[in-house]
Structure 1
Amino acid sequence: MTTVAYQGEPGSNSATAARALFPDGGQLPCTGFEPALDAVTLGTADVAVIPVDNSAAGRVADVHHLLPESGLFIVGEYFLAIRFDLMAVPGTSLDQVECVRSHVHALGQCRKILREGGWRTLVSDDTAGSAREVAELGDPRHAALAPPAAAQLYGLEVLRAGVEDDPDNTTRFVVLSREASSPPATGEPTVTSLFFLVRNIPSALYKALGGFASNGVNLTKIESYQMGAGLNPSRFYVEVEGHPDDPGVALALQELRFFSSEVRILGVYPAHSHRLGERIG
């Protein structure tokens, strides 16, 4: 049985994604992203399911700093539609609520109902954790914004369902493993994730990325972040449509390596069907 580590508590969106990807697997809830990655590195878990970005809140910054140092590989991806319910202890009415708890990202993704209610907010470590806290308090003045599964799990009553601002709110998760699992280049939709560090010379980034344009390779994501303080060159995280063995991608990577001091392929994995739906739409 596959053991799946994730950040959060049972009933969280990460737990839902882990269950969707590995319905027969065992789950290992972790207090943070780093412990979840460490669980895989140390062999306590077989894989980790970690969120990397959200359509409303953007990237999960902590994860992008942890991935290159983890030594793990991306072997899959999953897109989860995000739903939040406003929940409280049974018998609570909306006019009794004074404070709403949730993860900071969830509070940011449910601004409309928070403005309507005029409630003060408290940040919790996790969405499902906020539901547990409300259940433990047993106080009708406190409510939680949490995934629907958390209400049943912690015995809470849903006051308002589907209160997220954006009905298309989606979080992308990646599956991380100790071993790389590169599918063959069969022409099926594939994503290649990589990190690179450009040489500290003028126009290095422009030249490093030029090979993707000249070879007709689509970049679906490019993000930068600074390594340490001072004037150190930035590290870049890139996602590419295609397989490293595809002729165009191979030539683009060759040019990238020429203008970079470090290039590391983090994963080659099948594209999730959500990407294909976006393209068709």
Structure 2
Amino acid sequence: MTHRIAFQGEPGAYSHEACRDARPEMEALPCTTFEEVIDTVKTGKAELAMLPVENTTYGRVADIHRMLPQSGLHIIDEAFVRVHINLLAVPGASLSDVKEAYSHLVLLPQCATFLKEHGIRGRVSPDNARAAREVSEVGDKTAAALASELAGDIYGLDVLARHIEDFDNNTTRFLIMAPEENRTRRDNGHGMITSFVFQVRNIPAALYKAMGGFATNGVNMTKLESYMVDGRFTATQFYAEVEGHPDDPAVMRALDELRYFTNYLDILGVYPAAITRHYE
């Protein structure tokens, strides 16, 4: 039986690279949307989902946090991919031939310095891997794609310039999700992460009081983000991550205190911190 991990994008996307790095033994299954990725796992067509949640350059991935609580899936791991952007062109093309470079809207500004230096105009494509595929199909030496080396390998393109991004720390964080949760694993030497969402009660200073339990119990909160629920200004939901396992006494006490000030709390996953978390 072939085991599959689903991702959003075309073959060669950075999400595909994340699948190859984190689960090299599994077949990576491309999907058109994040919703399709989730449905593919829920219907059993794939065992795992690879979902990007944030990038060091452009912030969190829109809508992902809204999807997680309703997905029916659980976070079982995290993965980090260093986003190296490369200029890819058809075989035989040289850097001086290239007049236009196609890529996703968020990637183009990250290569602004290189493009300006070489007089290349940036053109928007819905997906960086799709840009690579289309450049390969058209066969025009004046057109290039900004994408991963994996995309170049898949679509038979030459790398004319490697790692042309303006910032050398551009990294995307992914969450690996599965239908069943797994709380049996413990510290792998790099710590455990607990991810959860919650809504505070409509009382004065509720958020301040809810967070107090983590401070008094010495639990490190590594992430706290808010977003509206159902388009209502009065219903704010929070996504949070803390270091530790819910069975750890300090984390248990902090979550118990949090529950007192919330009307909704859902633990989305308990998983080992990635080895690369502290080095990206």
Pairwise same-fold verdict (TM > 0.5): yes
**SS of 2:235's equivalent?**
coil
Q: Which residue number corresponds to residue 268 of structure 1?
A: 270
Give the 3 Å change call, closer, same or farther, for CA 209–92 of structure 1 in structure 2.
same
Q: Structure 1: which 5+ residue stretches go unaligned?
A: none
Alignment of 1:1-281 (within 5 A): 1-185=2-186, 188=189, 189-277=191-279
**SS of 2:17's equivalent?**
helix
In the alignment, the residues of structure 2 paired with residue 276 and residue 94 of structure 1 have an alpha-carbon distance, to the nearest angstrom, of 36
In the alignment, the residues of structure 2 paired with residue 154 and residue 260 of structure 1 have an alpha-carbon distance, to the nearest angstrom, of 50
The Cα RMSD (Å) is 1.7
Question: Which aligned runs of 4 or more in structure 1 are off by greater than 6 angstroms?
Answer: none
Q: Structure 2: which 5+ residue stretches go unaligned?
A: none
8 A Cα contact 1:57 1:109, kept in partner: no
8 A Cα contact 2:188 2:272, kept in partner: no
In the alignment, the residues of structure 2 paired with residue 142 and residue 59 of structure 1 have an alpha-carbon distance, to the nearest angstrom, of 30
1:178-202: CA deviations, max 9, x gaps? 1001134558510000000111222
1:201-250: CA deviations, max 9, x gaps? 22111111111111111111111111123432211100100001111111
8 A Cα contact 2:201 2:262, kept in partner: yes
Residue identity opposite 2:45 in structure 1: T
Would you say how many aligned residue pairs link Structure 1 and Structure 2?
Answer: 278
**SS of 1:71's equivalent?**
coil
**SS of 2:28's equivalent?**
strand
8 A Cα contact 2:4 2:29, kept in partner: yes
Give the 3 Å change call, closer, same or farther, for CA 14–230 of structure 1 in structure 2.
closer
8 A Cα contact 2:185 2:271, kept in partner: no
CA drift at 1:119: 3.3
8 A Cα contact 1:183 1:269, kept in partner: no
1:150-184: CA deviations, max 9, x gaps? 11221212221111122222111111001001134
8 A Cα contact 1:79 1:172, kept in partner: yes
Give the 3 Å change call, closer, same or farther, for CA 4–217 of structure 1 in structure 2.
same
Give the 3 Å change call, closer, same or farther, for CA 121–77 of structure 1 in structure 2.
same
Residue identity opposite 1:191 in structure 2: I
Give the 3 Å change call, closer, same or farther, for CA 100–5 of structure 1 in structure 2.
same
CA drift at 1:59: 1.0
8 A Cα contact 2:187 2:272, kept in partner: no
Residue identity opposite 1:18 in structure 2: C
Q: Percent identity?
A: 49
TM-score (norm 1): 0.93
8 A Cα contact 1:199 1:259, kept in partner: yes
Residue identity opposite 1:246 in structure 2: D
Give the 3 Å change call, closer, same or farther, for CA 257–172 of structure 1 in structure 2.
same
In the alignment, the residues of structure 2 paired with residue 123 and residue 143 of structure 1 have an alpha-carbon distance, to the nearest angstrom, of 12
In the alignment, the residues of structure 2 paired with residue 114 and residue 255 of structure 1 have an alpha-carbon distance, to the nearest angstrom, of 52
